[in-house]
Amino acid sequence: MENYKELAKEKMRKCRVCKECNGIVCAGETPGCGGKGNGSTFIRNVAKLKDVRVVMNVVSSNDEVSTESDFFGKKVSLPVYVAPIGGILVHYGADMSEYDYTKALVDGVGKDSIVFTGDGQNVQALLDPLKAVDDGWIVPTIKPWVNEEMKKRIEMVKTSKCSVCCSDIDAAGLVALKKGTPKVEFKDITQLKDIVDCAGIPVIFKGIMSADAALKCLEAGASGIVVSNHGGRVLQDACSTIEVLEEIVDAVGGRMKIFIDGGFRTGSDVFKALALGADGVLIGRPFSIAAIGNGSQGVRDYLNTLQEELKDTMMMCGCRKISDINRNCVKVCF
Amino acid sequence: MENYKELAKEKMRKCRVCKECNGIVCAGETPGCGGKGNGSTFIRNVAKLKDVRVVMNVVSSNDEVSTESDFFGKKVSLPVYVAPIGGILVHYGADMSEYDYTKALVDGVGKDSIVFTGDGQNVQALLDPLKAVDDGWIVPTIKPWVNEEMKKRIEMVKTSKCSVCCSDIDAAGLVALKKGTPKVEFKDITQLKDIVDCAGIPVIFKGIMSADAALKCLEAGASGIVVSNHGGRVLQDACSTIEVLEEIVDAVGGRMKIFIDGGFRTGSDVFKALALGADGVLIGRPFSIAAIGNGSQGVRDYLNTLQEELKDTMMMCGCRKISDINRNCVKVCF
Amino acid sequence: MENYKELAKEKMRKCRVCKECNGIVCAGETPGCGGKGNGSTFIRNVAKLKDVRVVMNVVSSNDEVSTESDFFGKKVSLPVYVAPIGGILVHYGADMSEYDYTKALVDGVGKDSIVFTGDGQNVQALLDPLKAVDDGWIVPTIKPWVNEEMKKRIEMVKTSKCSVCCSDIDAAGLVALKKGTPKVEFKDITQLKDIVDCAGIPVIFKGIMSADAALKCLEAGASGIVVSNHGGRVLQDACSTIEVLEEIVDAVGGRMKIFIDGGFRTGSDVFKALALGADGVLIGRPFSIAAIGNGSQGVRDYLNTLQEELKDTMMMCGCRKISDINRNCVKVCF
Amino acid sequence: MENYKELAKEKMRKCRVCKECNGIVCAGETPGCGGKGNGSTFIRNVAKLKDVRVVMNVVSSNDEVSTESDFFGKKVSLPVYVAPIGGILVHYGADMSEYDYTKALVDGVGKDSIVFTGDGQNVQALLDPLKAVDDGWIVPTIKPWVNEEMKKRIEMVKTSKCSVCCSDIDAAGLVALKKGTPKVEFKDITQLKDIVDCAGIPVIFKGIMSADAALKCLEAGASGIVVSNHGGRVLQDACSTIEVLEEIVDAVGGRMKIFIDGGFRTGSDVFKALALGADGVLIGRPFSIAAIGNGSQGVRDYLNTLQEELKDTMMMCGCRKISDINRNCVKVCF
C-alpha cells in the first residue's frame, strides 16, 4: 500500500519522501517542498497536531461507521479534500504535467472526494487541470490577482461546471507572483465582497489564521474558509493551523464552512480537526507524493488508507457518523 | 534478578527486551509488540507516567509496610495483577504455548497476585489457560464477541471457579477479530447490562478511557473497569491512561473498582496510580518477558521486585498500608 | 546575499558563524563571543523568541508596507538599530580596528538606521568610532564609569552632534572593567538622575530586565531604556529579554521609549518585539558578522534582508505601517 | 581553578567527573555516585533548577556585596554548607579515608563555611571525621538509628563542641542500613521530639520534601530542616527539591531555618534557593570532587568560585546583602 512512496522517491528530485513528512529536513527549501525561511511554520503544523489526543470511548452501538460527508451539496465519502498544488516540477522536481497530475488525483479520488486545483500567472496553469473533469467535481482555486483579472478567471472556471470556487488569498504574499503579469494583491473586505458577488457560486477563501480575518471573510459573503498558512510556505514563525482552529470556529459560530490544512497526514489527524469544529480537511503533500509515485492508483490507495484510519478512530471514539465527532472527542495538550 | 531479561532476549524474536520498555523502537510493529500506527499511544503511556512525581515524606511511624490488598474478596500481597495477553507466538515471536505461558504466570505469582487470562476466536485460546488453575484464582477475560457467544463463553469459564470475569471491550476494534467467526462487536449499555446479568458474578470492563464510558459501565452494572487503551495497540494518537485516570476516578466516586494498565513497569509507577485513585494496576509486557524468559521463576522474581519497589516507595512516602496512599502522595506535572 | 557569512568565517577566529546563531556551541566562551558561564542566558534569548508566534492575517488593504520609524526625531527606514559592540579583536578574534568596524556599520546603514557605538577604559575606544560620522547619526554608548568620568565623557561625545546618548549600565558587572582606571560602578536613581541632568540630551539606559528597574530609570528622567541582558554576557541563568518585555511595557505605560536586544536575528523576530510593545530592536552579533565579513556592503545586505523580512511579516499579518503592529499580532506560547 | 576536576578524574573510579554533573550518565549507579533506580530524582534535581531564572536588576547602589550569613550564631562568609557524605571508597571509588576527606573539607572552608559530617553503622564513621576540628565548626549528622542508639551518639558528638547537630532521617530508607546493627528506623513526631529533647542543642532534620513533614519537624521542636531527597539516592521518581521548596517555606512561615540540597552546583543556583526562601544551601558532590581531587586547596578553590558566582548574581540582581534576596529576584518557569 505504501508502494507509491517508494516509487515517488525515484521521481521527486526535491522531496525526500521521508518516513514522517514533518518539514524538518527540507526546512527553508523554497522553491522545493520545504517551509519558508527557518521552516518553523511547516514544522509546527505537524508538531502541534501531536498535542491533540483523541479520547477513546468504546461503549457504544455496533452500528457501521460512516465517514460520509457533504461538500456544498456534493456527497463525498469522507470530509477530506485534495489541496490545490501547482508547480510540480518547481516544487517537487518531478516530471509530470499539471494536467497529468490533476488527472491522477481526479481519477484516484473519483466521487469519494473533491480535488482543489491550482492557478498561475499563465492562465493555462488554471485551465489545464480543469480539463481533467467534465462534471464539476473540482474546486478551482484562483490566486488573488487584481480583481479585474480575478473576475475574468472566475468566469473562465465556471465553464468547468464547478459549483464552488476558492481563492488562496494568502498567495498575495508570494514573492514570485508579485512580479510579472498579472500581479497578486491583498484584498480587503470590499474587494472580497466584489469577488463573491461576481462569482455567483459559493466562494471559499483560503489562508485564514485568525478570528478577525475569518469574520471579515464572513462579512464579505464567503461561504467558507480554509484555515491555512499555505503549508508554512508564505511566512516563517507563524502559528500552526490546529492551534488557531478552535478560536476561529468559536468566532464563526456555524455561519460558514470551515476547512483546514497544514500538516495533516493520517485519518486520526483528520478526526482531530473535525473534533475541534472543522467541516473538512485539505491534504496536500501526501496526495502529491501518491499521485507522482503511482498515479491514480497511488491516490486511491492513500485515500483508502485515510478513510480506514478515520473510520478506525471514529469507531474507537464512539462516533458512528461524522456529526457524532465533537469537542469531547479530543484533549488539547498544547 | 534481571537474569530473566537476558534469557528472554534469546527467546523473543519480536521484542528487543529494551533496557527501558517504552514503545519507541517497536513503534508500529503490530503484529509484534509495538504500539499501533505511529506508536504514540504506547509511547505516551510510558512518558506521562514520568510526569507524576511521588512526594517523599519520612516523618512517620516505623511500622512495617504492608502492600496487602483485596481483589473482590481475595486477599493479595499487592494490588498488581497480570494483564491478559494471548498470542505469544504472534506478538512476541516466542515458542511457548498459551497454557505454558499461563502456567508460568500462575505458578509464579501464586496467591500473591491474580492472573487475567486471554481469549481468541478459537475457544481453546480461552479455555487452555484456565486449566492452569483449579481454585478460581484467575480472571478470564473474554473478547467482546456477539452477545450470544459471549454468554456461552461466560458459562464455560465459570467452570474454572473464577469469582470475577472480565471483558476487554476495546478489542472490538481489533481488525483481526472482525473477520472469521465469531466476530467481536462494540457494546452499548443495554448489551453490557445483558452480559452483567448473564454472568452472575462481578464483571470488569476493560478498555475505558473517559468518564463517559466509565459511567456507562457503572450504569450497566459493572463491578469494575480497567482504564486502558490496550497498551496503545488499538488506536494511535490516544491519551495515555494515567492522564485520564483522575477524571474517571472523580466521576465514579467509589461506586465501582477502578484498575488501570498501560506502561506500568515499576513499583513506583504502581504507587502513582494508587495515589491518583486506582484500586489496582495491571501489568502486561514485563510479566510476559519474565514468563517467557525464565518461566515461573522469572515471574516470581519480577513480582518480588515490584513489591519491593512499591514497599520502598510507600515507606519513603509515609504510607504503611495501601489505604494510606492518597492524592497528596503525588504531584502531577503533565 | 549570505556571501558575507562565508567571508566572515575566514576572518573571525572566535566565532564559528553558525547557520543559526543561538549561543549553543560557544556557551561560556568569554572573552570570545559566547554567553557567560553556562551560556544559558544567551541560549534562552534565542530560544524564547521562537515561542512567540506571529498571527497571519491576509484580509487587508493592498497598500504598500512601510517600515519607517522615528528615533527621537530622526526618521529611519526601520526600527532596528545596531547594538554597541567594542573589542572586535578580543571578542571575535578579527583583525579590524574599532574605527573601521564602526565605519563599515555607519556606511552600511546610511540614514536607514542608527548605529550605537561602544566605549572602553581607554577613552579612544569611545572617541574613535565617533569619527566615523559627522552629522550626529550615532548613539554613543558610555560605560557606567564613576559619575565624574561619565560626565566628562558625555561632554566629549556631544561634540559628535549626537542628539541622544546611551549608557549600558549593566556593564557595571563586567569583571574586566572593575579593574584598572576608570572603574565602572552600579548606579542608583540619584546617580542616574545626575547623568540625565548633565547630558542635556535624551538619555537611554541599557540593561534593564525588570519593571522595577525600568520605573527607576523613568524616575531618573530617562528618555528610553533597552531591555537587555547584554546578550547573556554579564549573568548566567537570567531570564530572556523577550519574556520580560511585556511586563516592562505595561509598567512604563508609554512614558518613555522601550528598546530591546538579545537573540534577534530576523525581521520576524523584530516584528515580535514590536507586537509586544517595543519601540525598536537593537541587533548586535549579526551586524558584527556582516561588517567583519564584507564591510559596509555586508551591513547593507543584512539590513536589507531584515527590512524585507520585516515587511514580509507585516504584510502577511495585515500591518501596513509600524504603528499597525499590536499585541493581537502575536501569540505568546512560553 | 578547575584543576581539581582533572585531578579528581584520575582518583575516582566510580564518578566520571562530567563537565556538567547532572546525574544522567551515572543513573542507577548505587553503590556508586548515581541516583537510585532510574536515576530520575537526581536528574530532576539538576534539571528543575534551570527552570528558575534570576531577575537582573542593575539600578542599585554601588555598595560592596556581602554574602555573609549566620548559621545558628556562627558568622559564615556565605550561606553554603558542605553536605554530609560518607563512604568515599564505596560511592566514589577513591582511596581516601573519611578523616582525610573531612580534614580536606574543614581546612578548605576554614571559618567561611561549615562542614556537615557523616555517620555509619560503625561508630567510627561518625567519630573519625569529628577529629578534624576542635572548635565545634562542624555539624555531625547522625543516621536515624533506633532512638536509644541515636541518643548515645548525640552524647558522643557533643564532645566535639558542635553547637548544632543534624539527622538525615530519610536515611531510614537506605537498604544497607536496615541490615546489621544498629538499625535505622523511621521516626514519628514523638520520636523526633525525644531526640530534640535529648540533644539539648539545636537539631536539624534532613530529608524533608513536603509541607506536612516540615510541620511535623516543627512540632517536634526542630530548629531547622534540610529540604532534601538525599541527592536522589533514596527514592526514584520523586520531586526535585527546588520544586517543593516554596510550599515548605510558606508553611513554615519563618518558625525554623530551612536549608536545601540536591543538584546545586553554582552560585547562581544558590541564589535561586535563597530567593525562594531558603536560609542556606548544602552542596555535596562538587565538594567531594574538589576534596578528592586536590584536598583542602581544591575545596578552597571551589568555595571561592561559589562565592564569586553568588556575589556576581547578587550584584547583578540588585542585592547587596543576603537579606536583600527575595522572591522577586527570580522567575519560576516550571
Percent of chain B with pLDDT over 90: 95
Is residue D299 within 8 A of residue D21, CB to CB? The reply is no
Specify the 3-state DSSP secondary structure of D321: strand
> Residues of C numbered 200-239 whose beta carbons fall under 8 angstroms of chain A's beta carbons: which are they?
none
Question: Minimal CA–CA distance to B43: which of B238, B332, B277?
Answer: B238
C-alpha distances in Å from residue D144, one per residue of B57, C273, D126, D197, D204:
14, 56, 13, 15, 12
Cis before A129? omega within 30: no
Q: How far apart are CA B271 and CA B164, in angstroms?
A: 24
Is residue A331 within 8 A of residue A55, CB to CB? The reply is yes
The torsion of the CA quartet B93, B94, B96, B102, rounded to 10 degrees, works out to -90
Specify the 3-state DSSP secondary structure of B293: helix
Q: pLDDT per residue over D276-308, tens digit each?
A: 999 999 999 999 999 999 999 999 999 999 999
Helix orientation angle between C285-316 and C98-109, rounded to the nearest 10 degrees: 20
Is residue D162 within 8 A of residue D139, CB to CB? The reply is yes
Q: How far apart are CA B301 and CA B287, in angstroms?
A: 10
User: Across the interface, do A54 and B235 touch by the CB < 8 Å criterion?
Assistant: yes
Q: pLDDT per residue over C301-318, tens digit each?
A: 999 999 999 999 999 999
The model's pTM is 0.96
Can you give the pLDDT at residue C234?
Answer: 95
Q: Is C59 on the interface with A (CB under 8 A)?
A: yes
Q: How far apart are CA D258 and CA D79, in angstroms?
A: 11
Give me the residue from A188, A205, A235 closest to C61, CB to CB.
A188
The residue with cell 526562601 is D277
Q: How far apart are CA C91 and CA B161, in angstroms?
A: 81
pLDDT tops 90 at residue D198: yes
Can you give the pLDDT at residue B180?
Answer: 86
Q: Is A57 on the interface with B (CB under 8 A)?
A: yes
Q: How far apart are CA B2 and CA B8, in angstroms?
A: 10
- Residue in chain A closest to B244 (alpha carbons) equals A55
| Chains A and D in direct contact, meaning 3 or more beta-carbon pairs closer than 8 angstroms | no
Is residue B228 within 8 A of residue B262, CB to CB? The reply is yes
User: Across the interface, do C54 and A235 touch by the CB < 8 Å criterion?
Assistant: yes
pLDDT tops 90 at residue D176: no
Report chain C's mean pLDDT, rounded to a whole number.
96
Q: Which residues contact A175 (CB under 8 A, 6 or more apart)?
A: none
Can you give the pLDDT at residue A254?
Answer: 98
ipTM for this model: 0.95
Specify the 3-state DSSP secondary structure of B91: helix
Give me the residue from D169, D213, D237 closest to B54, CB to CB.
D237
Report chain B's mean pLDDT, rounded to a whole number.
96
pLDDT tops 70 at residue B240: yes
| Chains C and D in direct contact, meaning 3 or more beta-carbon pairs closer than 8 angstroms | yes
User: Across the interface, do C170 and D266 touch by the CB < 8 Å criterion?
Assistant: no
Q: How far apart are CA C309 and CA C65, in angstroms?
A: 12
A107-140 burial code (b ≥16 CB/10 A, e <16): bbbeebbbbbbbbebeeebbbbbbebbeebbbbb
Q: pLDDT per residue over B41-50, tens digit each?
A: 999 999 999 9
User: Across the interface, do A266 and B239 touch by the CB < 8 Å criterion?
Assistant: no
Q: Which residues contact D254 (CB under 8 A, 6 or more apart)?
A: none
Contact residues, chain C, for A209 at CB < 8 Å = 55-57
Can you give the pLDDT at residue B176?
Answer: 85
Is residue C269 within 8 A of residue C21, CB to CB? The reply is no
Contact residues, chain B, for A61 at CB < 8 Å = 186, 188
Q: Is D175 on the interface with C (CB under 8 A)?
A: no
Paired strand residues for B75: B70
Output the nine-digit C-alpha cell for C320: 501596513
Contact residues, chain C, for A192 at CB < 8 Å = 59
Q: How far apart are CA A140 and CA A165, in angstroms?
A: 5
Helices marked H in chain D — which ranges? 3-11, 40-49, 88-92, 98-109, 124-130, 147-158, 189-199, 211-219, 241-252, 267-275, 285-316
Q: How far apart are CA B298 and CA B303, in angstroms?
A: 9
- Residue in chain C closest to D58 (alpha carbons) equals C170
Q: How far apart are CA C53 and CA C89, in angstroms?
A: 36
pLDDT tops 90 at residue D180: no
C-alpha distances in Å from residue C69, one per residue of C76, C280, C281:
5, 9, 12
User: Which of A46, A59, A309 is best to mutate for the B interface (most B CBs within 10 A)?
Assistant: A59
* Rg, Å, chain C Cα set: 18
Q: pLDDT per residue over B209-227, tens digit each?
A: 999 999 999 999 999 999 9
Is residue C314 within 8 A of residue C324, CB to CB? The reply is yes
Question: Minimal CA–CA distance to C49: which of C275, C311, C273, C303?
Answer: C273
User: Which of D56, D264, D324, D330 is best to mutate for the C interface (most C CBs within 10 A)?
Assistant: D56
Q: pLDDT per residue over C192-240, tens digit each?
A: 999 999 999 999 999 999 999 999 999 999 999 999 999 999 999 999 9
Question: HEC states along chain C?
Answer: CCHHHHHHHHHCCCCCCCCCCCCCCCCCCCCCCCCCCCCHHHHHHHHHHCCEEECCCCECCCCCCECCEEECCEEECCCEEECCCCCHHHHHCCCCCHHHHHHHHHHHHCCCCCEEECCCCCCHHHHHHHCCCCCCCEEEEECCECHHHHHHHHHHHHCCCCCCEEEEHHHHHCHHHHCCCCCECCECHHHHHHHHHHHCCCEEEEEECCHHHHHHHHHCCCCEEEECCHHHCCCCCECCHHHHHHHHHHHHCCCCEEEECCCCCCHHHHHHHHHCCCCEEEECHHHHHHHHHHHHHHHHHHHHHHHHHHHHHHHHCCCCEHHHCCHHHEEECC
Longest dimension (CA), chain B: 60
Question: Minimal CA–CA distance to A13: which of A99, A90, A108, A127?
Answer: A90
Can you give the pLDDT at residue A1?
Answer: 54
Q: How far apart are CA B259 and CA A97, in angstroms?
A: 58
Output the nine-digit C-alpha cell for C322: 509600524
User: Which pLDDT band, with edges at 50, 70 and 90, does B1 fall under?
Assistant: low
Q: Which residues contact C122 (CB under 8 A, 6 or more apart)?
A: none
Q: How far apart are CA A71 and CA B48, in angstroms?
A: 39
How many residues are given for chain B? Answer: 334
Output the nine-digit C-alpha cell for D222: 526542630
User: Across the interface, do B212 and A57 touch by the CB < 8 Å criterion?
Assistant: yes
- Residue in chain A closest to B192 (alpha carbons) equals A59
Q: Is D272 on the interface with C (CB under 8 A)?
A: yes
How many residues are given for chain D? Answer: 334
Q: How far apart are CA B58 and CA B272, in angstroms?
A: 17
Determine what percent of chain B falls in helix, strand and coil, rounding each to the nearest 5: 45, 15, 40
Q: How far apart are CA C134 and CA D27, in angstroms?
A: 63
Kindly state the average pLDDT of the residues B179-188: 94
Output the nine-digit C-alpha cell for B288: 510476559
Q: pLDDT per residue over B109-164, tens digit each?
A: 999 999 999 999 999 999 999 999 999 999 999 999 999 999 999 999 999 999 99
Kindly state the average pLDDT of the residues C160-172: 96
User: Across the interface, do C173 and D315 touch by the CB < 8 Å criterion?
Assistant: yes
Q: Is D190 on the interface with B (CB under 8 A)?
A: no
How far is C230 from chain A, CA to nearest CA, in Å? 24
Can you give the pLDDT at residue A176?
Answer: 85
Paired strand residues for C257: C224
Output the nine-digit C-alpha cell for C312: 514580509
Give me the residue from C53, C60, C61 closest to A238, CB to CB.
C53
The torsion of the CA quartet C329, C331, C332, C334, rounded to 10 degrees, works out to -150
C-alpha distances in Å from residue D139, one per residue of B58, B64, D75, D234:
21, 31, 14, 22
If 0-12 CB within 10 Å is exposed, 13-18 middle and 19+ buried, where does residue B65 land? buried
Return the sign of the alpha-carbon dihedral for residues C294, C296, C297, C298. positive
- Residue in chain A closest to B212 (alpha carbons) equals A57
For A119, list phi and psi in degrees, rounded to 5.
-155, 165
Q: How far apart are CA C233 and CA C87, in angstroms?
A: 14
Q: How far is CA C188 from the centre of its chain?
A: 23
Q: How far apart are CA A184 and CA A174, in angstroms?
A: 8
- Asked which of A175-189, C57-71, D214-228 is least confident by mean pLDDT, the reply is A175-189
Q: How far is CA B197 from the centre of its chain?
A: 24
Give me the residue from A189, A229, A243 closest to C59, CB to CB.
A189
Q: pLDDT per residue over B252-311, tens digit each?
A: 999 999 999 999 999 999 999 999 999 999 999 999 999 999 999 999 999 999 999 999
pLDDT tops 70 at residue D1: no
State which of C1-15, C93-107, C166-180 shows the largest mean pLDDT. C93-107
Q: pLDDT per residue over C88-108, tens digit each?
A: 999 999 999 999 999 999 999
If 0-12 CB within 10 Å is exposed, 13-18 middle and 19+ buried, where does residue B305 land? middle
Give me the residue from D37, D186, D213 closest to B62, CB to CB.
D186
Specify the 3-state DSSP secondary structure of D157: helix
Helices marked H in A75-188 — which ranges? 98-109, 124-130, 147-158
pLDDT tops 90 at residue D179: no
Q: Is D313 on the interface with C (CB under 8 A)?
A: yes
Q: Is A285 on the interface with C (CB under 8 A)?
A: no
Can you give the pLDDT at residue D31?
Answer: 85
Q: How far apart are CA B236 and CA B40, in angstroms?
A: 6
DSSP type of residue B53: E
C111-130 burial code (b ≥16 CB/10 A, e <16): ebbbbbbbbbbeeebbbbbb
Residue ranges for chain A with pLDDT beneath 70? 1
